[in-house]
């Protein structure tokens, strides 16, 4: 077997293969999980889905804060004496095996009574007995089987969220009334004047009236309120003609049955509201496992370890309790929660998420550290300079952009059309009424109400939600998750696209490494590789991975100098790896690219340059985009990559470097003041302001389940090169909607003919209104499906499973 994959997690077993029970594992962690499962009769886990697992992480001390009763109290959902219920978010949940194993937790730990998975939300709700176990033990158990819960500051501050189910209720009320009213109005459709029917039609009519009351005043409430608000702000939105139609239908029908003039239009009324709500329901696709409203809180840890100055005691405190002057212990891979000063330890801080700098920076004791950086190399001790809210990073969130609701400042297509539509309908109604006043005054009021009823733009109102809802789902299937349907329209309107650099067009944690200088001999390279093996520095790790395999040798001497480099000796040869000065480069000019210099036996040999690795297909993407859009790259990183980008990107691309988060925000604001519609594509916290300010903020993420800043859309990094497809699909969708408006006007014209000639009977209304709605819905659904599928497959050749 040349390459074997791990039975547990499916990764390639590269360096070390662990064989156990006739199966191969990539590491001991995976083997241990397998052992746990097989010894508890749970090996079925591997039958449901092959290689479903994840490598369990090192957690030493990480969850100690779960001993703190205050924190436990905030996380626990329900507690009653010995029984606690907690809901934990587990990003790894992805398949049926995950559901199965997590719902069988009680087989692994006797004090867990039940556990229930919510797959769309990726949460597990665990009920456990506190007399036998603790929350910490439950979390550690989950971690030991590779399902690490994600607990962040967000969990601490959020209040119990109320789930809004009102749309379900409204849909239920409208559907219930619609069905019953249709049933009751059926006899009168055929206008059979039987003695039997004549006698009971009043009962039927008043029952219909009773059914339609909750529809008008409860189910259709939103439309009435929205129309009222629109009118008060002097905007004729789409809800104005809808509300008008609903009210006129209800009032006219009531008057008709009151004075025994006819049956009324209760069937059309309830049907109309039901279809409208159905459209709303369809448009409302939510990705419950994603959050589009995240701020620093969901990125930050919930607790840190504080070292008490007097007795050197370690205690876990909540992040908000950090005071100026507190000594904090930051472990490997932990976040720095506040602006602070490094006291001791070997700090390698990865700021890529916060500032956009691509390489981790080394710090020495006494240096200032900013909140949001991630420590990569062992534990460090820091002293807090500020509290959490006052730190540099968190202050970005006090900008007004984050308080503004984007949707209010945007008039969508239907509302725009509806402004003219409503005016025209009013004109027609008045002219027709005027005409009938002269010809047959008794019919005038009938004609006036008939026009308003038939003109009720339900087809118009349904076209957009169904078309956009459909495309929203299509995007979701292809790993592009939108916050709501308006985003599609905004995307279609955009003319400027800004890209962040680090993590957006480049791949994090991956480098193109090139060697410049005198070639190294085989022995020198072996020594280099072995020296690097001992180092934990991120640059050493990535350089180590690119070098060819060499046999392992024991180093005679090894010394790591923090902030400068490493020195190693084997037999007669010594090697120095590190910064320019450390390796002793003769004439050192300033270099912007990250580089590692090598000298052997005190002779300078050369250096490795770390270039950013760009995403696949990004050149082609920029070329295509620059034909139709203004494209720019706006980065927080230095200009090291500028010449390279200038060379490969098409000419009009503007490149901006050294941009602070606030600079990015104001740059977008400037563009918008020049009437440009901006799409910002970014990934880190440093883009958060820009993403909020732009018309459409798209966050790129390698793993959509982990943190991404507040945005309008989240895109999986694997579909990055397909951005052009998504943009053109949105443009075409808008075109489909526009064409469906023409169809809807055609129906309205037919209806208006009946209305102005005074022939609108309940049965015509009952046929025409649902017919127009349904045919419009079918039209837009079929066309958007067809368009997006065609475009997607033509471009990509392959047929992906939805």
Residues near another protein (CB under 8 A) are 41-44, 47-49, 94-96, 99-100, 103-104, 107, 117-121, 163, 165, 168-169, 172, 176, 179-180, 196, 199-200, 203, 207
d(CA 523, CA 527): 6
Q: Which long-range contacts (CB under 8 A, 24 or more apart) does 508-512 make?
A: 508/352, 508/358, 508/702, 509/542, 510/542, 510/613, 511/542, 511/546, 511/610, 511/611, 511/612, 511/613, 512/610, 512/611, 512/612, 512/613
d(CA 619, CA 87): 44
Residue with the two structure tokens 């993420």: 701
Pairing of strands 380-384, 594-600: unpaired
Which lies closer to another protein via its Cβ, residue 99 or residue 491?
Answer: 99
Closest listed residue to residue 246, CA positions, set 209, 278, 221, 210: 221
Which lies closer to another protein via its Cβ, residue 185 or residue 391?
Answer: 185
Please say whether the beta carbons of 755 and 704 come within 8 A: no
Pairing of strands 696-701, 713-716: parallel
Q: How far is the CB of 219 from another protein (least distance, A)?
A: 13
Q: How many residues does the chain have?
A: 802
Record the tokens describing residue 65, joined without a space.
Answer: 């804060």
d(CA 109, CA 553): 44
Is the alpha carbon torsion for 536, 540, 546, 551 positive or negative? negative
Which lies closer to another protein via its Cβ, residue 108 or residue 568?
Answer: 108
d(CA 185, CA 228): 31
Please say whether the beta carbons of 657 and 666 come within 8 A: no
Closest listed residue to residue 327, CA positions, set 345, 311, 313, 308: 308
Which lies closer to another protein via its Cβ, residue 101 or residue 498?
Answer: 101
DSSP code string of 398-411: GSGGGTS-GGGG--
d(CA 118, CA 597): 51
Please say whether the beta carbons of 263 and 200 come within 8 A: no
Angle between helices 135-144 and 28-39 (to 10 degrees): 110
Dihedral (C-alpha) 788, 792, 794, 797: value to the nearest 10 degrees?
-150
DSSP state of 5: B
Q: How would you write 134-160 as a 3-class SS string?
A: CHHHHHHHHHHCCCCCCCCHHHHHCCC
Please say whether the beta carbons of 243 and 222 come within 8 A: no
Closest listed residue to residue 188, CA positions, set 253, 274, 255: 253
Which lies closer to another protein via its Cβ, residue 34 or residue 629?
Answer: 34
DSSP state of 765: H
Closest listed residue to residue 584, CA positions, set 601, 572, 570, 608: 601
Beta-sheet strand order (sheet of 506-517): 506-517, 603-614, 594-600, 573-578, 565-570, 557-561
Record the tokens describing residue 32, joined without a space.
Answer: 């241990």
CA 621 vs. chain centroid, Å, equals: 22
Strand partners, 698: 681, 713
SS3 118: strand
Residues ≥6 apart with Cβ < 8 Å to 551: 526
d(CA 575, CA 84): 58
Q: How far is the CB of 279 from another protein (least distance, A)?
A: 18
DSSP state of 57: P
Record the tokens describing residue 656, joined without a space.
Answer: 């901006």
d(CA 396, CA 305): 25
Strand partners, 725: none
Strand partners, 114: 127
């Amino acid at each position: 077997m040349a390459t074997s994959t791990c039975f547990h997690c499916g990764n390639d077993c590269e360096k070390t293969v662990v064989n156990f029970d006739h199966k191969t594992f990539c590491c001991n962690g995976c083997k241990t999980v397998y052992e746990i499962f097989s010894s508890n009769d749970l090996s079925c886990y591997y039958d449901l889905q092959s290689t479903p697992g994840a490598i369990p992480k090192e957690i030493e001390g990480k969850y100690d804060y779960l001993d703190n009763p205050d924190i436990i109290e905030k996380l626990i959902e329900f507690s009653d004496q010995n029984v606690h219920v907690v809901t934990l978010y587990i990003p790894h949940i992805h398949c049926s095996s995950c559901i199965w194993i997590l719902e069988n937790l009680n087989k692994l730990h006797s004090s867990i009574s039940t556990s229930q998975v919510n797959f769309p939300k990726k949460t597990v709700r665990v009920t456990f007995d506190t007399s036998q176990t603790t929350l910490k033990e439950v979390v550690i158990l989950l971690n030991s089987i590779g399902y690490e819960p994600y607990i962040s500051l967000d969990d601490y501050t959020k209040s119990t969220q109320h789930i809004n189910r009102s749309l379900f209720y409204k849909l239920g009320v409208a559907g219930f009334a619609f069905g019953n009213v249709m049933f009751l109005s059926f006899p009168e459709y055929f206008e059979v004047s039987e003695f039997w029917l004549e006698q009971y039609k009043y009962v039927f009519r008043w029952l219909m009236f009773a059914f339609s009351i909750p529809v008008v005043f409860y189910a259709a409430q939103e439309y009435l309120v929205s129309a009222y608000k629109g009118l008060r702000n002097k905007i004729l939105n789409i809800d104005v003609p809808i509300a008008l139609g609903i009210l006129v239908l209800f009032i006219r029908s009531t008057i008709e049955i009151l004075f025994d003039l006819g049956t009324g239009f209760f069937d059309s009324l309830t049907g109309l509201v039901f279809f409208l709500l159905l459209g709303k329901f369809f448009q409302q696709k939510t990705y419950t496992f994603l959050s589009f409203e995240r701020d620093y809180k969901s990125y930050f840890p919930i607790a840190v370890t504080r070292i008490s100055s007097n007795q050197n005691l370690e205690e876990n405190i909540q992040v908000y309790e950090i005071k100026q002057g507190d000594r904090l212990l930051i472990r490997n891979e932990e976040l720095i929660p506040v602006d602070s000063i490094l006291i001791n330890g070997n700090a390698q801080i990865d700021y890529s998420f916060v500032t956009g700098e691509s390489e981790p920076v080394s710090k020495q004791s006494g240096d200032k550290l900013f909140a949001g950086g991630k420590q990569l190399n062992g534990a460090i001790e820091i002293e807090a300079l500020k509290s959490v809210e006052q730190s540099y990073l968190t202050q970005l969130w006090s900008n007004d952009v984050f308080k503004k609701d984007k949707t209010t400042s945007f008039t969508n297509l239907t509302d725009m059309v509806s402004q003219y539509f409503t005016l025209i309908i009013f004109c027609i109604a008045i002219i027709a009424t005027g005409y009938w006043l002269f010809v047959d005054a008794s019919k005038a009021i009938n004609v006036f109400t008939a026009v308003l009823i038939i003109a009720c733009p339900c087809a118009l109102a349904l076209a957009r939600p169904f078309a956009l809802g459909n495309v929203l789902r299509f995007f979701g299937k292809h790993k592009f998750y939108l916050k709501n349907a308006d985003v599609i329209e905004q995307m279609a309107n955009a003319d400027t696209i800004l890209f962040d650099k680090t993590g957006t067009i480049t791949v994090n944690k991956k480098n193109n490494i090139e060697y410049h200088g005198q070639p190294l001999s085989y022995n020198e390279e072996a020594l280099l590789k072995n020296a690097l093996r001992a180092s934990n520095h991120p640059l050493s790790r990535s350089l180590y991975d690119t070098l060819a395999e060499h046999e392992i040798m024991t180093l005679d001497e090894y010394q790591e100098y923090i902030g400068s480099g490493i020195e190693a000796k084997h037999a007669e040869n010594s090697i120095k790896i590190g910064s320019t000065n450390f390796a002793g480069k003769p004439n050192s000019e300033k270099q912007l690219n990250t580089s590692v210099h090598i000298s052997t036996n005190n002779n300078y040999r050369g250096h490795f340059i770390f270039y950013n690795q760009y995403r696949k297909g990004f050149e082609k993407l920029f070329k295509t985009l620059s034909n139709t859009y203004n494209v720019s790259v706006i980065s927080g990183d230095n200009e090291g990559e500028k010449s390279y980008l200038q060379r490969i990107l098409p000419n009009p691309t503007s490149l901006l470097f050294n941009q602070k988060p606030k600079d990015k925000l104001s740059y977008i604001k400037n563009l918008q003041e020049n009437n440009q519609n901006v799409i910002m594509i970014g990934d880190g916290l440093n883009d958060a302001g820009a993403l909020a300010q732009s018309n459409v903020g798209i966050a790129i993420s390698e793993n959509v389940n982990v943190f991404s800043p507040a945005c309008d859309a989240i895109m999986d990094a694997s579909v990055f090169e397909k951005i052009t497809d998504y943009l053109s699909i949105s443009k075409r969708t808008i075109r489909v909607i526009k064409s469906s408006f023409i169809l809807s006007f055609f129906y309205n014209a037919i209806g208006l003919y009946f209305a102005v000639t005074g022939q609108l009977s309940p049965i015509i209304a009952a046929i025409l209104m649902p017919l127009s709605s349904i045919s419009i819905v079918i039209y837009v659904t079929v066309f958007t499906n067809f368009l997006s599928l065609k475009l997607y497959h033509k471009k990509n050749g392959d047929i992906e499973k939805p």
